[in-house]
Amino acid sequence: MCLNRSSPSLLQSGQQKHSHARDTFLCVIAFAALCLFSTSSCGAQATGNAGAGQSTVQGQSGQTVAPVVQYTLSPEKLRQAVALARTGRRLYFAEFFWGLLVLLAILRTGLAAKFRDWALGTSRLTIFQAIIFCPLLLLTLDIANLPFRAWGHQVLRSYNLSVQGWLSWILDWMKAESITLVLATVAGWVLYELIQRSPRRWWMGAWVAALLLVVAGAYAEPLIIEPLFYDYKPLVESHPELVQQVEKVVARANITIPEDRILEMAASAKLNELNAYVSGIGSSKRVVFWDTTLARTNEAQALAVFGHELGHYALNHVWKGIALTAIGLGISLPFLAWLYAIVLRKWGSIWYAKAPQGWDSLAVLLLLVSTLQFASTPIDNALSRYFEHQADLYGLEVIHGIVPDAPQVTAQVNQILGETNLEEPDPSRLTVFWFYTHPPIGDRIAFALQYDPWSQGREPEFIH
């Protein structure tokens, strides 16, 4: 769960907290045909658009900030936000369709079959065959896709959302690619063994393996993968006063978060965007502030950010996402297995795919998974928007009475986030339906400013 841009554009460096980890994780799951509904809930911008009280709040440098009544951008920032969103959407579709074309070319030219022959000629042991075939296929796909990734990074640099140099960016890509290749090789090997042993019912074992991968990935991501790309330290080391206030909010929620699980991430080494997030499960669960967010917000605004993230933490959105993934896989994997058999019977010969159990047939499976994941994007994002709205509501309730005029503070911090991250105002309903992992920023500010069950004699939904 992260605090960032609403629409999951490929230009979204704010997602970079998860970008390498999630790209790695989803590549593994996609390659193994184990994930059609990813658990990507990313959330903490509270924004919206309505009339509010006329109180004022002190900014980071002590100046008085005018009350926010709706999300607005200057003409220049508005132009930039709209242009950035359009570019991101074009890049999203271009990358997807290019990936399909590359996969089809790999199959139609017999390159996948050649990779298969090389793998089979190496050893009789399938694990060694996987070590040959899986990296060859994924490297071909990812190198073909690299220009689109570089294009996205260049756009972020041109809008000053990223300050990461090209050498650092390439090193990050290489680290992510290395992790992907290792994990995808293991996943591909497991999937190959399942199909070999049960060509018709392999999806049952794949469902179990997928859930194990999802849970293991959710636990390991903050401990192993995230530190490879950013530096972390306990928030108490740099902002002890803020941690004291955070502890008041945590006590209000009647939960416990150890101080060493409230962290600050050194995002400013690579990014200018603002963000915060919750990740992990069990003993790896933590709340993370980006240092860029702390530099641009005052204490009250930082607590509003924390309230949203605490919502994800307290409401167990990671576990709920995993449960929804299990349901989605239980529905989609049998369909995928049925479709896989049909496609191989119809086009397997022209793709040089000899049998469902062949290594090269995994490229066909990856083609189908990519298409179905693309088609399921609106469902995934609708669930994410629901979780984000819950976290918005929880955040407003948990800081009520601790942060003076919490609705206005929440609106102000999200105005700052929108201006800094170049959030597009007034996106179309179709754009929100397909792209947005969060409610639009204007809607979120509106909700923050109008949500007041206490004065209306109603019980708050989460914090009583």
DSSP result, 109-176:
TTHHHHHHHHHHHH-SSHHHHHHHHHHHHHHHHHHHHHHHHHHHHHHHHHTTSB---HHHHHHHHHHH
CA dist 347 to 198, 200, 340, 354, 364, Å? 21, 18, 11, 10, 10
Closest residue by Cα to residue 219 from 279, 165, 170:
279
66 or 443, higher pLDDT: 443
Taking residue 33's Cβ as centre, other Cβ atoms within 10 Å add up to: 29
Give mean pLDDT, residues 155-164: 97
Look over the chain and give the mean of its residue pLDDT values, rounded to a whole number: 87
**CB 351 within 8 Å of CB 362:** no
- Record the pTM: 0.87
- Residue 320: its pLDDT value, please? 95
Q: What is the pLDDT of residue 158?
A: 97
Residue 165, Cβ density class (10 Å: 0-12 exposed, 13-18 middle, ≥19 buried): exposed
Q: Which two tokens stand for residue 209?
A: 């393996």
* DSSP category for residue 279: E
Tokens of 198: 């049960």
pLDDT band at residue 61, thresholds of 50, 70 and 90?
A: very low
At 355-382, the pLDDT tens digits run 777 899 999 999 999 999 999 999 999 9
Share of the chain above pLDDT 70, in %: 86
Give 53's pLDDT tier (boundaries 50, 70, 90): very low
Give a three-class secondary structure readout of 346-394: HHCCCCCCCCCCCCCHHHHHHHHHHHHHHHCHHHHHHHHHHHHHHHHHH
Token pair, residue 109, equals 């030219």
What is the pLDDT, as a whole number, of residue 33? 36
Longest dimension (CA), the chain: 75
Residue 352 neighbours by CB under 8 Å, 6+ apart: 107, 110, 112, 113, 360
- What pLDDT band is residue 27 in, cutting at 50, 70 and 90? very low
Task: Give domain limits for the chain.
Answer: 13-231+312-450
Closest CA to 272 of 156, 138, 190: 156
How many angstroms separate the CA atoms of 144 and 67, rounded?
49
Q: Is the distance from CB of 263 to CB of 233 less than 8 angstroms?
A: yes
